[in-house]
Chain A
Amino acid sequence: MLYSRQTKARQFMRSKIRRGFLLFIWLVLLALPSAALAEGPTQPDQLFRDASNLISAGDYETALEVLDRIPAPGGTDSAADFIKSRVQKAQLYHALAMFDEADASCHEVLALFPDNIEATNLLDSLAKAKKPKWLLFIDDMKLFLPSLIQGAGITLFLVVITMVISPIGGLLIALGRISGVPPLRWLSWFIIWFFRGTPLLLQLFFIYYGLPSLGVTLSPTTSAIIGLGINYSAYLAEIIRAGIESIDSGQMEAAKAIGMTYTQAMRRVIVPQTYKRLMPPVGNEFIALIKDTALVSTIAMVELMRSANQMFNTYFNVNVLIIAAMIYLLFTTVFTVTFETIEKRVGAYENR
């Protein structure tokens, strides 16, 4: 048995693959010492050095990763290295104002060494340094609000101007739509068809960037007012037309029968009766308008959306967007409540 094994081994050594096998063993033996060195006890020192180099180079993220590589104590791994690394991590997080992560790092130490004085002290100072989120938000508000309010002023200006223009334009187009004069009907139909059928953004681009090539150069404000005004007139026109057509035809007959002209009948009898019915859909349109004004930021108007965007690009602070959203919500809420109040008031005769 023994003999035959030796024989086989001898035969093997003599075989053709002997040389290859020996080469493999040799390579393994060469690799072992370097692997042993990498895992060896000198590693934490090296890591600490790396980390401090990275920190001074400003690469905090990698530094944190490097520190994290120092293992928890056990076997040959030292407790002191572990504590040192986690405390350094906590300090780094602290400097970066990442208080939750700093806390977590301290707790990592305290979980194994509950009496560690370093971690306990750091945790205390963290609690002091860590401001409540809402306080930070207030700080951001102080920083961002002045410019956002300026932008909001422009937004409000555009909304109010459009709210004045578009019902007048809408009424004229609506009257054109139901007019007995065919060219007026066609013109009104065309305006509605075109401005409802193309994106507002495209219309704004055309007015601001496109018209100059036709020799008409308009300021961003004028372009915005024209774009929003016509677009919203087209939308309101259909709402107003529906409102007028919903009034019983007997009302027009009665107005004519007492000698009123068409214009008088419309002005004194028909249109006033549409107010209550028009309030909900018109209110809807105006709330959409508040948000659509954001589109004019693309034609160089610094309204609320644009100022929010500018500051977000500077500070990369999401609170800018939150504050802008709050201002939009404030506007829409005020408008909603106002419209509900007006609706109740103008329709009072129907509720008695």
Chain B
Amino acid sequence: MSHETTDENIIIEIKGVNKWYGKFHVLKDINLNVRKGEKVVVCGPSGSGKSTLIRAINYLETHEEGDIIVDGVKLVDDVKRIQKIQRDVGMVFQQFNLFPHLTVKTNVMLAPIWVKKSAKAKAEKRAMDLLDRVGIADQADKFPGQLSGGQQQRVAIARALAMDPKIMLFDEPTSALDPEMIKEVLDVMRELADQGMTMVCVTHEMGFAKEVADTMVFMDAGNIVEYSTAKEFFEHPKEERTRQFLEQILNH
């Protein structure tokens, strides 16, 4: 991890993080920095700890050792700080996790109204803008259950963006989607990347990674095995384990 830790542009700083599930060591001495506007794609076999890592960044997972500093705020067991981080970091889940009892529009408006205390009219206008941006403004009054998986995931992205996050985390956003719906979600993510959003993305979509990622992180068995630029990662992977993984995933 030969990364300059003094960089003022660093927005996520992960230092010596260890995490155990009981006796199972999920994260082993993880060090990782993410700069503002950087697009990091984390890949690796299942059980490698990549989801745990990304969830630790907005404190959906706690860690036993080490520090995670997001936008200058160290994650400790302090509800106020954690909530500040969670407001500033948007997250998109594999299973969308939309609120099924609320309409699409209300899903997007919920946090601005209750967390940011925005006026309802303002929140509604913003929600419609965001839904328009992800291409589902016409479904605004439906319930999530009436939408396709791809549409639901785009709503989930709009919902995260409604809080104007500084960082967006994507936890396998396309893994639960039918193949024909993957593109519509990746298109939205691509657009977001083009606009300069800081993104940490766990995905197996290597085409997307090649195109969008600045940095590739390959994890296996709780370790960061390889950390390099996307170009280097795909053209000259340093580690044997990375080569094996890429071979499997690219030739499946």
Contact = CB atoms under 8 A, between A and B. Distances in A.
Interface of A: 248, 250-251, 253-261, 264, 268-269, 272-273, 349-350, 352
B95 A250 contact: yes
A273 B101 contact: yes
Interface in B162-201: 162-163
Contacts of A259: 83, 86-87, 111, 115, 163
B90 A264 contact: no
B51 to A, nearest CB: 12
27 contacts: A248-B95, A250-B93, A250-B95, A251-B97, A251-B99, A253-B91, A253-B93, A253-B97, A254-B93, A254-B156, A256-B58, A256-B59, A256-B86, A257-B89, A257-B93, A258-B86, A258-B90, A259-B83, A259-B87, A259-B163, A260-B111, A260-B115, A261-B83, A349-B145, A350-B145, A352-B142, A352-B143
B145 A254 contact: no
Name, among B59, B114, B159, the residue most crowded by chain A CB atoms within 10 Å (CB to CB).
Answer: B114
A261 B114 CA distance: 9
A260 B113 CA distance: 10
B100 A350 contact: yes
Given A257-B90, A258-B110, A264-B114, A273 B100 contact: yes
Nearest to B108: A258
B146 interface: yes
Contacts of A248: 95, 97
Contacts of A268: 110, 114
Interface in B110-153: 110-111, 114-115, 142-143, 145-146
List of 7 A-B pairs having minimum Cβ-Cβ separation, nearest first: A259-B87, A254-B97, A258-B111, A257-B91, A250-B97, A259-B115, A349-B143
Contacts of A250: 93, 95, 97
Given A268-B114, A349-B145, A254 B86 contact: no
A3 B110 CA distance: 133
Interface residues of B, number: 30
B76 interface: no
B26 interface: no
Contact of A254 (B79, B99, B114, B162): B99
Contacts of B100: 273, 349-350
Contacts of A257: 58, 60, 86, 89-91, 93, 160
B90 to A, nearest CB: 7
B47 to A, nearest CB: 19
B98 interface: yes
A257 B156 CA distance: 11
A269 B99 contact: yes
A248 B144 CA distance: 15
A264 B93 contact: no
A253 B79 CA distance: 15
B70 to A, nearest CB: 13
A258 B160 contact: yes
A127 B86 CA distance: 86
Nearest to A349: B143
Contacts of B160: 257-258
Contacts of A260: 110-111, 114-115
Given A258-B87, A258-B159, A352-B143, 5 more contacts: A253-B97, A254-B91, A258-B162, A268-B114, A273-B100
Contacts of B79: 261
A264 B99 contact: no
B21 to A, nearest CB: 15
A349 B60 contact: no
B110 A352 contact: no
Name, among A259, A260, A268, the residue most crowded by chain B CB atoms within 10 Å (CB to CB).
Answer: A259
Nearest to B100: A349
Given A256-B86, A261-B83, A352 B145 contact: yes
A102 B60 CA distance: 85
A349 to B, nearest CB: 4
Interface in B23-44: none
Contacts of B163: 258-259
Contacts of A272: 101
